[in-house]
Amino acid sequence: MLTILFDGVAYGMVLFILAVGLSVTLGLMNFINLAHGSFAMAGGYIAVLLVNRLGIPFLAALPLVFLAAALLGVVAERVLYVHVYRKSHLDQVLFSIGLVFMSVAAVDYFMGSQQQFIELPETLRRRHQILGIALGGYRAFIIVACGALAVLLELVLSRTRFGMKLRAGVDNATVARGLGINVNRVFALTFAAGSGLAGLGGALGAEFLGLDPTFPLKFLVYFLIVVAVGGTTTLLGPFVAALILGVADVAGKYYVPAAGGFIIYTVMVAILLWRPHGLFGEAR
């Protein structure tokens, strides 16, 4: 029981890291980026290449993964996404779905369709018995690392000048521009950081989310749930939503394996019916 809760929290933490960038880009530019999962997948595969092929230790590879995914995000944002911000939601959906399909096929072509595994260091793979509960060392590491990241993000958002500009942009981009804030640059940086975090999440989560070329499609709904249920105005919203989703998914798959993903989708539809703008969101 507690083991499930523990696994669920670890799962939820990774989901939060994966989806938090999407939540901010959606809030800032009202931009529906369904291709967010492609950056996460890119991060996962970069980690596989670095750790398995080049033999870089897992922990040392993580910052590199973040940087690489962030770089990918900046390039994609400056080259492709800038043309789509002002277009309709239909265009944004078509565009980002197109990117998803391209990334899925491209990864399939270069890396093969089989599931990839990252070689974890021995110290993280050990299981511990604490108070009679079996705890995976890797999951404990994830909870600590992602928890620290979440606190860091919250601090950046609430205490720094950049965070202030970002919040102003999310609240009202037009007024923020009028005050002399370069919203486009804030957005480009946020997009990069969000993509980097997604890549980091992809690398961290490869172990138990499963990393194969269909990753962006498989977890598309999960990211959207975190964002839609959590709302885009705070970090706490997506965080709570990700934890609920993680625990519910792990518990659902453990107790009612026959139902599979059924429960998650039903809960999502139900929540969106009850609060169309998310649990923590406000009508815009």
Q: Which residues bind another protein (CB under 8 A)?
A: 26, 32, 80, 83-84, 87, 89-91, 93-95, 97-106, 108-109, 217, 220-221, 224-225, 228, 258-262, 265-266, 268-269, 272-273, 276-277, 284
Question: What single-letter amino acid sits at 6?
Answer: F
Closer to another protein by Cβ: residue 50 or 224: 224
Closer to another protein by Cβ: residue 106 or 155: 106
Task: Report the alpha-carbon distance of residue 282 to residue 279 in Å, rounded.
Answer: 9
Question: What single-letter amino acid sits at 140?
Answer: A
Closer to another protein by Cβ: residue 57 or 260: 260
Task: Report the alpha-carbon distance of residue 114 to residue 212 in Å, rounded.
Answer: 6
Closer to another protein by Cβ: residue 177 or 277: 277
Residue 259 CB, nearest distance to another protein (Å)?
7
Q: Which two tokens stand for residue 222?
A: 């999960």
Question: What single-letter amino acid sits at 115?
Answer: Q
Q: Which two tokens stand for residue 3?
A: 């083991």
Residue 87 CB, nearest distance to another protein (Å)?
7
Residue 229 CB, nearest distance to another protein (Å)?
9
Residue 76 CB, nearest distance to another protein (Å)?
11
β-pairing, 127-130 with 133-136? antiparallel
Closer to another protein by Cβ: residue 57 or 98: 98
Q: Residue for token digits 């009850």?
A: 274
Q: Which two tokens stand for residue 256?
A: 């009612």
Cα–Cα nearest to 15, from 159, 217, 160, 227: 227
Residue 270 CB, nearest distance to another protein (Å)?
10
How far out from the chain centre does Cα 113 lie? 22
